[in-house]
Amino acid sequence: MQPLGADEPTEVGPYRLLGRLGSGGMGRVYLGRSAGGRTVAVKIVHPHLALDEEFRARFRREVDAARRVGGAWTAPVLDADPTADVPWVATAYAAGPSLAAAVAGGGALPEHTVRVLGAGLAEALDTVHGLGLVHRDVKPSNVLLTVDGPLLIDFGIARATDGTASLTSTGVSVGSPGYMAPEQILGKGASGAADVFSLGAVLAYAATGEPPFPGDSSAALLYKVVHEQPALGRLDGDLLDLVTACLGKDPAARPTPAEIARRLAPEGAARMVASGWLPGRLVEQVGRSAVQLLNLEATGAGAGAGAGQAVSGPVGFSSASVGEFGPAPVMAAPGTPTPAPVLPAPRDAGGTTAGGERPGKVSLSLAAAATPGEGGRGRRLSCTVALAVAGALAAVTVGSVFVLDLMPGSGSDDNDSAAGSDTASSKPAATVPPAPAGAVPAAYVGTWEGQGSGLGGQLPMGTFRLTVKQAAVGKELGRLRQTDVLGGVCLDILTLTKVTSKELITTSVGAETNHGGCNPAAHTVRLTRTGDDLTYRSESSAEGNPVARMSRID
C-alpha cells in the first residue's frame, strides 16, 4: 500500500480512505474504512473517464456483474455509486497480495498451491458462467491470494453471453495481451472457453514463474497466442496435461471450469484450503499486512481523535508522499459541478484572483507508482479499455518510480493561450525571431511545466511537463510527460515538423511503453511562446484537445 498523495481524495461516499492499493486503466483502488469500522477496497474511476458515457455504461455493468456473482472465491460488492460525478465501487477488502505481486516477489508457487489456486478459480468461473457472464480478463493481477483461498476480482470488462452489446468498437479485442484467448484477439467473440484459456495461462504463470507466451511487445504477445504453442517450462504430469488442454487453440476442445475443478480438487477447493494452501513466505507476508492494517488507525490521522469523531486524511507512512502541492481534496458529492481547472498565470500577466491576489506559479515534480500490469491514464476521453490486435498495451513495472529523460518541447500561434489561465491583460504571444533553417529558437529550449485542461477548460488534466531540446526537422524534439490528478502517467514523443517565426509545429505519438489508457494515435501539437511562458496546444480531439500554459523550470 502506498501513502495518499496530497492531490488524492480522502473521502469517497461514506468511506474514509487510508492509502492507495494500486491502479489500472480504469481507475485507482484505495484502502478505505466505513464509519462502523469495516475495511473495504474502494475503486474510483479516473476523472476523465467519468465524462465518457460509454465508460459509465461499462462501469455500471461491472458493478451489476460483480453483485450478481458474489459467491465463493470472489470479493463481494458492498456499496457503489455508478452515477456519481466520479463513479466508485466498494468491495470487501482481501488481505493478501495479487498473484502477479507474489510471483514477481518470490518466484513460482509450489504445485500444491497451484492446484488449490486452479480449483478455486475454476469454481469461481463455473459460478460466473452459470449466471450467463464471461469475465474476459482473468490474469495474475486480478487474482488475490488470501489465507482463506484465492479470489477472482475486477469484473470491469465482463459481459453477458445473451447477445447484449459489447460496448467495444468493431474489430477491437478486449483483455490483456498474453492472457487473452485466440478467439478474443481475432475478434470472434469470447465465450466461457476464453476464460478457461486465460485460467490456463494464469496457472502456467503461477507454476513456472513466467508467462506462457513471453514477449517484449503487445503485438508479439498477440501473435504468439494465436500462432505459437505455449512455453510451459518445468510443468509436468497431470498438471501439464490440464494446462495444455486449457491453452488449446480450439475453444470447443478446452475443458469446462467444472471439469478443471474436479481434476484439481475432487473433494472441492474449500477442503484443500482448510488444510493450508499458501507457502510459508506468503502466510508470513499476509500476517504482516494484517498487523499493519490493524495499526493504521493508531499510527495515522485517526490517532488522537475524540470518541465518535471521524477524521479524514491520509495516515502516517514511513516515506513522504509525492506530488504534494496543497491540502488533500475531498471527493465532490454527486451532482456537484466540476470546476474549471486553475492554470498558473504567466509571470508577466497582470490578472488577479477573485480575492485580489495574483495567483502564484505552480511547479512540482511527481513520481508515479503502479501495480504489475497496470497503470493510470489522464488524457484519453474515449477510453474503451480495448486493445486492437496490433495495438500497444504496456505493463507498468511493479512499484517503479518513473524517472524520465524528458526532452525539449515546443509551441502554437500567437493567439493561443491555456484555457482558464490567460487574462485580458496578458501579453500577446512573443514573436520569435527567425532562426536558421531547421533550427529551434533558443527561447524554446528548456524544461517547462504547468497545469493542463481539455474540453475548452472544463476538464482538469493534471500536470504537463515538457523538456525541449535542439532538433532538426524530422527529428525528436522532446517528450511530454502528463500526470493526471490521480497520478496516472503517459509519455508522448514529439517530432519536429516545422519551425516558423511564431510557433513550432510537431507530431506527437504515445510512447510504446504507455499503458492502454494512453492515446497511441499520432496528432499535431503546436508550441508557442506566450510572454515568458510556453503554450502547448494539442489537436487530438480524442483527448479533448488538451491545452497547457507552462512556465520554465530549468
Active site residue 137: yes
Nearest to 414 by CA among 524, 522, 533, 506: 533
Alpha carbon distance 376, 512 (integer Å): 15
Report the 3 state secondary structure along 33-64. Answer: ECCCCCEEEEEEECHHHHHCHHHHHHHHHHHH
Three-class SS state of 292? helix
- Residue-by-residue DSSP string for 241-284: HHHHHHT-SSGGGSPPHHHHHHHH-TT-HHHHHHT--S-HHHHH
9, 17 contact by CB (below 8 A): yes
From the number of C-beta atoms within 10 Å of its C-beta (0-12, 13-18, 19+), residue 353 rates as exposed
Are 328 and 6 in contact, with CB atoms under 8 Å apart? Answer: yes
3-class SS of residue 538: strand
Quick one: CA dihedral 155, 156, 161, 164, positive or negative?
positive
CB 500 within 8 A of CB 434: no
Cα separation of 268 and 271, whole Å?
6
The residue among 287, 286, 296 whose CA lies nearest residue 17 is 296
Measure the CA–CA gap between 147 and 282, rounded to whole angstroms.
Answer: 9
Beta strands at 39-45 and 27-33: parallel, antiparallel or unpaired:
antiparallel
Burial of 401 by CB count in 10 Å (0-12 exposed, 13-18 middle, 19+ buried)? exposed
* Neighbour-count burial of 338, counting CB atoms closer than 10 A to its CB (0-12 exposed, 13-18 middle, 19+ buried): middle
DSSP characters over 448-487: EEEEEEETTTTEEEEEEEEEE----TTSEEEEEEEE-TTS
- Strand residue runs (E) in 336-458: 387-388, 446-454
What grid cell was written down for 50?
Answer: 467519468
Residue 364, C-alpha cell as written in the block: 512540482
C-alpha–C-alpha distance, residues 481 and 115, integer Å? 43
Catalytic residue among 52, 137, 414, 533: 137
Q: Contact 4/328 with Cβ under 8 angstroms?
A: yes
- The answer to whether 43 is a known ligand-binding residue is yes
Interatomic CA distance for residues 343 and 345, integer angstroms: 6
Q: Which helix (H) or strand (E) holds 529?
A: strand 523-530
- Taking the C-alpha atoms of residue 229 and residue 236, their distance in angstroms, rounded to an integer, is 16
Q: Could you tell me which residues are annotated as the binding site for ATP?
A: 43
Active site residues: 137
